[in-house]
Amino acid sequence: MPQTARGRLTSQQVSDYHAHGYLLCHDQVFGPDRLARLQAIFEENLALYGHYDLDIMHARDPRLMEFLLADEVLDLVEPVIGPDIGLWSSHFISKPPEGGKATPWHEDSAYWQGTIDDCAGICTVWLAIDDTDRENGCMKVIPGTHRDGGGYSTYQPVDASRNIFGTEVTPGTFDESQAVYFELRAGECSLHEARIIHGADANTSGRRRAGYTMRYFPTTSRVNPERTQPNRIWQARGRDAAGQGLARWEG
């Protein structure tokens, strides 16, 4: 199948991503040595911070910028959001075996309202650190909801002791039977759009489930810097299209 002008995705994959709001990529994102280095960085930070304090890790560990700005990743992102790319955030997500909390149904955009003027186009690359499947609580999405709900559904409270978040998209407002599960081998990845409804079941298996989320946005969208602290927004590729003074990493 034909490749896009610059990127690792075929034209059909790009079309599927825009239609459904997600894409599974079963090729290895990085070569074996770079993946092993990323996994080692994750293990160091997990030992320091624990399973539930791994957000915005590149602000604490600048070694991660090598991976966030790597062509291997940006060549996955550019075909779906365009050539002018900002680095939005990153987050190691780790669920311990036999008790990793569930992630309730949610939209990333619901948490970012007011932080950026348009959540359309924000793309998350979810790179598997461990093998992830239904048994250990892999991510799941409701296809097409990035268009249907617009990214701002109604929410209701859930038991915070059993869930990572304290709210979930109101049941009955979408069809849970349509869920697609993201089963990935370590080193593979998925892409999903910020407005899609997604979540994950609790990890009741004997295996850990860890991944690295790398989030990007088209720089035509304008960010409110007062709402992003302590996360600094970086220019990852192309132009600062909205002229908002995005810095480039010089490390």
Q: Give CA separation, 5 vs 2, 76, 140, 157, 202, in Å.
A: 9, 12, 30, 45, 40
Can you tell me the distance from the alpha carbon of 44 to that of 50, in angstroms, rounded to the nearest whole number? 10
Check residue 64 and give its pLDDT. 98
- Report residues of the chain scoring pLDDT below 50: 1-2, 5
pLDDT digits (tens, 9 = 90+) for 192-201: 999 999 999 9
Check residue 2 and give its pLDDT. 47
Domains of the chain: 11-248 (2.60.120.620)
Q: pTM of the full predicted structure? A: 0.95
Enter the tokens of residue 10.
């075929």
pLDDT digits (tens, 9 = 90+) for 69-102: 999 999 999 999 999 999 999 999 999 999 899 9
Can you tell me the distance from the alpha carbon of 30 to that of 33, in angstroms, rounded to the nearest whole number? 8
Can you tell me the distance from the alpha carbon of 58 to that of 35, in angstroms, rounded to the nearest whole number? 16
- The CB density around residue 109, as the number of other CB atoms within 10 Å, is 23
**Structural contact between residues 100 and 164, judged by C-beta atoms closer than 8 angstroms:** no
Orientation of helix 71-81 relative to helix 11-20, angle to 10° = 60
Check residue 231 and give its pLDDT. 83
Check residue 149 and give its pLDDT. 67
pLDDT digits (tens, 9 = 90+) for 10-38: 999 999 999 999 999 999 999 999 999 99
CA 126 from centre of chain: 5
Can you tell me the distance from the alpha carbon of 126 to that of 92, in angstroms, rounded to the nearest whole number? 9
Residue 77 makes CB contacts below 8 A (sequence gap 6+) with 85, 123, 125, 191, 216
